[in-house]
Structure 1
Amino acid sequence: MLKIWPQRDASGNFFNRTLDTDGKFQQRYGYFEMQAKLPIGKGVWPAFWLFAHPGDRRPEIDIMEAYPGGGPNSGWGDSSLHPVAFAATVWPNGSSNGNAGFRMLQTPDLSAAFHVYGVKWEANRQTFYFDGQPFLTVNVSMGDPMYLLLDLWFGSASGTPDSTTPTGEGNAFEVNYVRAWQFR
């Protein structure tokens, strides 16, 4: 099992963790899936996505992003800053150029158990799945081969981590597996 947890550097700042397959594995179209349990707390921002960098464009498919540190008023977290929602987003030309589809899905506490996040990526359509059930379809052409990314970053809609953010292995982004299938 892969575990990525919030940790501070020597200066006391939280630092981002990224694992990717850039230069090692990329694929155009297929089914991509991760089974994971998410961390809690102010500032945590776990994600699973596909990315490419052809020329100046940055096409991206966000399969799962969660921002529990936003708390109950944000819709992303509960009053204890447990993740109770995640989002999927399609960015055909990069996140600075507008998305082609987005959905935030309300869920049970994603830190309490493992869940499966997936996308079926076809030439003109991306269908997103949560625990085997489709919840979003985006009809847009995306033909650049992409590589996989898993990360635990800090900030954005989750706020800035602080002394209340649990650190260490007990608050890990736990990943049982990541799989990629090609279509025949």
Structure 2
Amino acid sequence: MPFAPEKPARLTRRRALAGGAAALGAPLVTVFAPVSTGAEDQLAIRSDILNVEAMQIAFDEDFSTLDVSAWGPGTRWIAHTPWSGDFGGARFANPGERSPFRIVDGNLRIEARRDPEGEWQSGLLASVDPDGNGFSQQYGYFEMRARLPEGPGVWPAFWLIGKDRSTATAEIDIFEFYGDKPDGYSSVVHVWHRDGRHYSRFHRNAVFVEARPDAFHTYGVKVDPDWIRFYFDREFVWKTETQPEHRQPLYILLNLALVDGPTRDATPDPSHMIVDYVRAYRLD
């Protein structure tokens, strides 16, 4: 994931994901690369065009209802990362009396707000439980349609994690949006090795110059054995080569986090992320 605008006071998501030596403070070696702008042949260009109609839906969450528990098993979603690595400046709350999740007008509303004790809480959904039960898929197109909150401190995201984390964690951040930078969002591909090495490819998508983050947009990624391609409103944005660690089943996470720092004092209370649907398609 890209570096947060402020130094966090607790475990960041990248430290929690890296585990092993990285979590103990070993240096991370990060490689950032610009998006290729060289000429591409017509076959490559056709491959970048998204044809959802030619795919079959493997996972379809329209949020007419919400099937979620704190940790599972047996629910479509759980309310924490499966490895218990919550992050950011707001506690990810369980469903229940103080649930951050509501179904409003057929959409999922994730709310970040201060609880009666004055602490920030918000929500995260993951499609597998700590035992790996739930939805994951090797290769395919993953998409979410959502409206994003604006304002200092808000940090919504839609991302994928590889199920096998024994030697490295494969991560694809389809989008990360910082509310104090409303002109666009970031997309990142990571491999967090347990020996402390860190592979990363990053792109800043300045798409909100004319569009608005608080309007509905689709955010998607297509993963195949060779390429990871990113899309905004189903239009191709950029791509990077698929790493060996990403050639495995990937599961879905979405959340409204807060940056852990002074900007929380200026974060609108409450703030909302509205999700219309989350879908995954098979490439066959």
TM-score range (shorter-chain normalised) is: 0.7 to 0.9
CA distance in 1, matches of 2:214, 2:124: 23
Q: Which runs of 5+ in 2 are unaligned?
A: 1-106
Alignment partner of 1:150 is 2:250: no
The aligned amino acid for 1:88 is S
Superposition RMSD in Å: 2.1
CA distance in 1, matches of 2:238, 2:116: 42
CA distance in 2, matches of 1:94, 1:129: 27
CA distance in 1, matches of 2:278, 2:125: 12
CA distance in 2, matches of 1:131, 1:125: 19
Greater relative CO (CA pairs within 8 A, separation 6+): 1
CA distance in 1, matches of 2:262, 2:219: 24
Tell me the TM-score normalised to structure 1 length: 0.82
Q: How does 1:125-144 map to 2 (within 5 A)?
A: 125-141=227-243, 142-144=246-248
Cα gap change, 1:44 to 1:116, in 2 (>3 Å): same
Q: By how many angstroms is 1:131 displaced?
A: 1.1
Of the candidates 90, 94, 104, which is equivalent to residue 189 of structure 2? 90
Report if the CA contact (8 A) 1:90-1:101 is conserved: yes
Structure 1 residue aligned with 2:157: 47
Q: By how many angstroms is 1:40 displaced?
A: 1.3
Report if the CA contact (8 A) 1:42-1:159 is conserved: no
Q: By how many angstroms is 1:159 displaced?
A: 5.8
Give the number of equivalent residue pairs: 168
Cα gap change, 1:114 to 1:131, in 2 (>3 Å): same
The aligned amino acid for 2:113 is Q
CA distance in 2, matches of 1:17, 1:29: 27
Structure 1 residue aligned with 2:118: 12
CA distance in 1, matches of 2:140, 2:276: 20
Find the structure with the greater CA-based Rg: 2
Structure 2 residue aligned with 1:80: none
Structure 1 residue aligned with 2:171: 60
Q: By how many angstroms is 1:123 displaced?
A: 1.1
Tell me the TM-score normalised to structure 2 length: 0.55
Q: By how many angstroms is 1:15 displaced?
A: 2.2
Q: What is the SS of the residue equivalent to 1:147?
A: strand
Cα gap change, 1:68 to 1:99, in 2 (>3 Å): farther
Of the candidates 192, 205, 229, which is equivalent to residue 105 of structure 1? 205
Q: By how many angstroms is 1:2 displaced?
A: 0.7
